[in-house]
Chains A and B, each alone.
Chain A
Amino acid sequence: MSEHNEQKQRQKIKSAKTMRELMTTYYLDALSAAQNNKTVAWITSGGPVEPLVAMDIIPVYPENHGAMIGASKMGDELCTKAEDMGYSRDLCSYARSDISCSVVKGGPLGGLPKPDMLICCNNICGTVLKWYEIQARYYDVPLFILDTPVCHTDYSPEIARYVKAQMNEYIEFLETFTKKKLDHDRMKQVGKLSLEGQHLWQKILNTTANKPAPMSAFDAFFFLALIVTLRGTQTANDFYKQLLKEMEQRIKDGTGIIPNEKYRLLWDNLPIWYQLKWLSKKFSSHNACLVADTYTSAWCGSVKYIDPDNYLNSLAQAYTRIYLNIGVDKMADQVLEMIDFYQADGFVMHSNRSCKPYSFGQMDIAEIVRKKAGIPVLMIEADMVDPKSFAQSQVETRIDAFMEMIQQQ
């Protein structure tokens, strides 16, 4: 099939336009925060944003910014700039590009709005701790660290006590900074919205269990931005209701995201932001659809721990037991569940130089998947933002060989 025909047959998701507008509005608000006397907090993608929303603090996500830098193919230049500043090329490319962006005011937005405070939750990695220390020195602003110990095998009573106590410290930190008290009714309301948002997001991701899948992981990577940045707002929930409706309609109409879905794949790790289009085309040329991924589901994976009636306390557990903050065997269990739920024929793992906690352990997970699910596994060596670690022809050959294996099964 020619590229032109394939593009024609691919039925675009209409909600994408609304989503782009919402993100533009969000960033315009954030960029004009200083003029409007609003407070800006930079926060890690896995951090509890709900208290910020409840206190009218604008949350800004350097990781989302990193993804934008990657997708707009500005990662190479910014990462190199960070290397010139002394940061090793082996370090996380989100961190590298964000750190240099602060200095050169580059990237797709000309730099993020200056933070008034930094909120760092280390449930996703230890890298964010170092990254936020660097930014705390650069911007000379207070840094709050929410320390969520790794639950290798369990969420121990010691960990529970420690993280719960820090939730209170977090609120105190915000109250001291803003010189106003948290309105607990408002907090409850934001908590409800956040929970509803996460349920909606899960439902949207679940729609791809349908054959053919109405959207793919590539779409999920795009639509994810709202559950990250606007979690706990009516805006996010209204949008996700619209998106869910569209997905349900596509299911009814039998509209798949790729023209002729034959094979269904599960993706692991962060996206390769600067190669989304190429990868998407590559897989669909084999009639393969990336129906789900372990990454975008991380923003609703610990919903089960949230107790709306004891919201702040239950947040401690929900934020500590996220996908990346558990043992490799527990991660493998979740992968197996997803393979089963989405009926995946193969598992594609992005071995991401930038993300050690996500990537080390992948080889063990691959082995478990091969043994227990009996499906082929492909590992692609790359990086989420820095294209210097991506060899296209090599990846292409490996994808072709992998798809051949799947076809033979």
Chain B
Amino acid sequence: MMQEIQLFHDAVNDPKSYLSSIQADSKKIIGYLCSYAPEELIDAAGFHPVRLFPSGSEILYAENHVQAYCCSMVKGVLEDSLAGRLDYLYGTVFPHTCDTIQRLSDIWRLNTHYDFFCDVAMPVKLNSQKARQYMKDVLKKFRTDLESASGKKITDSDLSASIAEYNVIRKNLLKIQNLKSENPDLIKGADLYAIIKGSMIMDRKELTTLLPAIASRLENTDISSPRRKRLVFSGSLCDFPDIYSMIEAAGAMVAADDLCTGVRWFDTLMPQNSDPMDALTARYFDRAVCPAKHRNTTQRGEDLAELVKNHNADGVIFMLQKFCDPHAFDYPFLKEFLEKQGIKNTLIEMDGRPQGTGQLSTRIETFIQMI
């Protein structure tokens, strides 16, 4: 494995140690749970953004705040916070996501004691000029909130620099993913997973050199891959790296994804020659849509079918987190939409990380044999 990739694995395996080193550089850390968190503003304000994933520890405290029918991501992150495992945070930002995260925001505000807290009540409707204007308004407000917290102004050039930085990160993540799609054996699925997840944790400036270095190294690696069956992941988050090895062991590979912890986090680049707030607004308004938001009634089906076509994929695996309403509501439609086009698909429902993996790998193998 490349030395650079090991750095990502280290950050993913022990985010707390990694983030302590960032803190030691006297950088304050702001956590978030949703890919709509406007990281560029957090970064431009001089804070370090980090996506929070549940540590998987036993639920002891969160049970006093959310019922059994709450998704494991929200329950797990709340547990980590209440148990003091997120004490490295300076604060948290909650962009409006789903009903569950909406209430998590309230529960968090009432029960945790970080210095910084912010709701960014973004529009749910993403198909009108008024909504676009409102998106810009809430981003501006968030900018002001960050400025009050840091005590210094975010200048347009700060923001432009951050936008340029994120374009490098996103462009290279996309490039690495596409390189794998073209040449599956170039990099293991579990390594790619670590690179993407690690990018949500690690220092963003560091990423602007690490990611291009990895991309160019991969680009210049001369290996040829046998034809593997090609899959697309669709869903909210996939925080289970073993699934990539299972798929590869069964002779297939993940060629592309439509995940919140995947492409939806890095899909759309920002124009660098326009007003930075307009550029930011455009990205959060026009990026690949989450099912908790609305662009039109068929967009997600069309986007997914196109992704399958572009990556010459043989099938789609829906990764559904238990109790995730927006994705569960879209599933029957997406399934039917794909089937009308002859695209095979299967559903894997997970409640956090699966306990026993035997059943899961059998299901995956069966699906791969079928396609």
> Could you list which residues of chain A lie within 8 angstroms of chain B, going by C-beta atoms?
85-88, 90-92, 95, 122, 125-127, 129-131, 133-134, 136-137, 143, 145, 147, 149-153, 156, 158-159, 161-162, 165-166, 169, 327-329, 351, 353, 356-357, 359-364, 367, 381
Which one, A88, A130, A147, contacts B131 given CB within 8 A? A147
Which one, B106, B125, B323, B331, contacts A86 given CB within 8 A? B331
List residues of chain B with CB within 8 A of the CB of A351.
67
> Could you list which residues of chain B lie within 8 angstroms of chain A, going by C-beta atoms?
64-67, 69-70, 96, 98-100, 102-107, 109-111, 119, 121-125, 128, 130-131, 133-134, 137-138, 141, 291-292, 294, 297-298, 320, 322-323, 325-326, 328-333, 335, 349
What is the count of residue pairs linking A and B with beta-carbon distances less than 8 angstroms? 145
Q: A85-B332, A87-B328, A126-B292 are in contact. Are A357 and B123 (CB under 8 A)?
A: no
Q: Is the CB of A152 within 8 A of B106?
A: yes
Q: Is the CB of A357 within 8 A of B103?
A: yes
Known: A133-B297, A149-B124. 20 other contacts (CB 8 A): A87-B332, A92-B325, A95-B329, A127-B329, A130-B291, A130-B329, A133-B294, A147-B125, A149-B121, A152-B106, A158-B137, A158-B138, A161-B134, A162-B134, A356-B69, A356-B325, A360-B70, A360-B104, A361-B103, A363-B65
Q: Is the CB of A360 within 8 A of B332?
A: no
Which one, B69, B107, B294, contacts A364 given CB within 8 A? B107
List residues of chain B with CB within 8 A of the CB of A133.
294, 297, 329
Q: Is the CB of B123 within 8 A of A136?
A: no
Which one, A87, A360, A364, A381, contacts B110 given CB within 8 A? A364
What CA separation (Å) do A126 and B125 show in the bound complex?
A: 11
A-B residue pairs in contact (CB < 8 Å), sample of 10:
A86-B332, A90-B322, A90-B328, A91-B325, A130-B326, A150-B96, A150-B121, A151-B121, A166-B128, A356-B325
Q: Is the CB of B297 within 8 A of A328?
A: no
| A404 → B minimal CB distance (Å) | 23
Q: Is the CB of B121 within 8 A of A152?
A: yes
What CA separation (Å) do A122 and B123 show in the bound complex?
A: 11
| A114 → B minimal CB distance (Å) | 17
What CA separation (Å) do A165 and B134 show in the bound complex?
A: 10
What CA separation (Å) do A23 and B21 show in the bound complex?
A: 66
User: Nearest A residue to B320 by beta-carbon distance?
Assistant: A88
List residues of chain A with CB within 8 A of the CB of B134.
149, 158, 161-162
| B206 → A minimal CB distance (Å) | 34
| A228 → B minimal CB distance (Å) | 21
Interface core residue of B66, B98, B292, B294 (most chain A CB under 10 Å)? B294
| B315 → A minimal CB distance (Å) | 17
Which one, B96, B123, B297, B298, contacts A162 given CB within 8 A? B123
| B34 → A minimal CB distance (Å) | 13
| A103 → B minimal CB distance (Å) | 11
List residues of chain A with CB within 8 A of the CB of B325.
90-92, 126-127, 130, 356
User: Nearest B residue to A136 by beta-carbon distance?
Assistant: B297
Which one, A136, A149, A329, A381, contacts B106 given CB within 8 A? A329
List residues of chain B with CB within 8 A of the CB of A122.
124
Q: Is the CB of B329 within 8 A of A87?
A: yes
Q: Is the CB of B67 within 8 A of A129?
A: no
What CA separation (Å) do A92 and B335 show in the bound complex?
A: 20
Q: Is the CB of A91 within 8 A of B329?
A: yes
Q: Is the CB of B329 within 8 A of A134?
A: yes
User: Nearest B residue to A361 by beta-carbon distance?
Assistant: B103
| B113 → A minimal CB distance (Å) | 15
Q: A129-B124, A327-B109 are in contact. Are A162 and B137 (CB under 8 A)?
A: yes
User: Nearest A residue to B63 by beta-carbon distance?
Assistant: A363
Q: Is the CB of B131 within 8 A of A137?
A: no
Q: Is the CB of A137 within 8 A of B96?
A: no
What CA separation (Å) do A364 and B103 show in the bound complex?
A: 11
Q: Is the CB of A356 within 8 A of B96?
A: no
User: Nearest B residue to A381 by beta-carbon distance?
Assistant: B67
What CA separation (Å) do A137 and B122 show in the bound complex?
A: 25
Which one, B67, B102, B106, B124, contacts A145 given CB within 8 A? B124
Q: Is the CB of A328 within 8 A of B110?
A: yes
What CA separation (Å) do A87 and B347 show in the bound complex?
A: 12
Q: Is the CB of A357 within 8 A of B99?
A: yes
User: Nearest A residue to B300 by beta-carbon distance?
Assistant: A133
What CA separation (Å) do A156 and B109 show in the bound complex?
A: 18
| B74 → A minimal CB distance (Å) | 8
What CA separation (Å) do A159 and B297 show in the bound complex?
A: 24
List residues of chain B with CB within 8 A of the CB of A85.
332
List residues of chain A with CB within 8 A of the CB of B66.
360, 363
| B319 → A minimal CB distance (Å) | 14
| A95 → B minimal CB distance (Å) | 8
